[in-house]
Structure 1
């Protein structure tokens, strides 16, 4: 039992402030009994309320305060026949007799603005707009020449690889079929029309078939990019990386496609030609393509991968932060990836990390791992 003074109510807090900064405990430092109030200590503060005068004055001066307890779970039993007034971040109400249990979860999701991601998406949109601007030419003959035929073979091989990989991926992850299965079937049918009876079609009928194939392949490619971006974390890491490579190869093939207009019919068709040298050089410097970058940026801080770390990986992570002097403490307490993701300021203090700068650096790095 905890002896209580004459009070009118209690306040249970998971943050070191209330009602615009009202101070119910009188200080921000720890003492022999209580820890210092903190946001991330996973502890509930139970403090006393003596009256309306104290609540009003606490915003200005330390008039009167009393800390009752610090805990992670609070159970309130309301006895008798009358209810008591209760307020939780809003309008108060009368709570009838019964039991109230408050548990500190420390799992509140908060919305934040990621400016780095916004800049990446904005740059990608500009790049895509530049890529999708068609280079329009006119042709007299709809048949394929030798050089264009080689480019067509490379394109069909890339499309075939994309179709096969996505089919194998949907076999392993059946939930993905609803998002992309129709596009895979349509693209495969157009590819079969280009290769009738296992041989590449010939004559003027080939170019309209190739145009349909390019259109369906682009739709499949774009949908696969969206799938990788939205559901990449649900796919096994090596398979997601392979899909990123296949999509990057398709992006390179699409850069060889341009729109042509037939002088005879005036219809638009697809022809293949090498992109300008300056564009090739620029794409060569860009590495593996934008969606690969988005995939790596998203996976870089994936908590799922970090949760599988052992003690050796955690010590290597400390060395990357230039804090290898704490490796022995982490190793002595058997801190692995799963424990690393849940470390708090109080845990670091128990590990012997007292320097404020080092604590902030480790907590910030853990926050980035959890993003």
Structure 2
């Protein structure tokens, strides 16, 4: 099997693209280029890979996006990878994080994004901004193959710039892309004329008592992926901690972390969003909630509303670990209670609006 990988560094260097630089004047393309060079280097270690670079390798011109996508489409690329680094205001700030875009509606695109994002996230070591809808992005929208666009970090971040200026980090990011592509296609690595299967992701090989696919308490955290993560997600779902957006997809992202935190709150163990032996034991012994509201019938509680039913809601939120530091359970529906409701709704995987109603009541009764 031969797979065709189209890859490019976003924009151009040497002032070829207006803007697209750090507050100190470093060009985004310079960072992007180092990641692409590393990705190509490591992709060449696998059997059956053809690579087309879509940007100008010299950085002296900014190849038009239409030219890039047309080349990839005409060549018949199997996947398209675009490497970028983000910017916010253009002046230094403390925003941070790595994110990956894909075409929502493409199952293959989503899978590619998940595999690459999980590995790239570890390489940069920055906050997980998640995989996101990229249907509006030209290279995502106008390619005929699964495509991803990676924003490794913020060029105008006092946090992220330390990573971007570290060539070892950018090399690791390129390697992460190559490993994600290899896992996506199931590529075999070249090795002295012989080949061996590319190593599965680290999280899928974590094991205790010899199991590599069933979760029995192995430590899992955001960014991990593989069958063992899917096993953990299935346990969460079976215990009533829903994953409405992505389900048991084998990727430990924001939604799974929220569900883990909700499970930890419900079972009364320390809340850190990391699934390990204590979380496993707590989930295994968890049989759901016997709690029922006495005064609140599930009717919508509006801002400014008062009464026993509001205090009962507040008491329930406090019992589950959602703080009301200023007013506590005072029986008044205010902004502090609404914020706690939003946090609970987000953890429960239901509509987040800060307004308690029937769905929120049902979820509150189904926790711990």
TM-score by length of 1: 0.22
Identify the structure with the greater helix proportion: 1
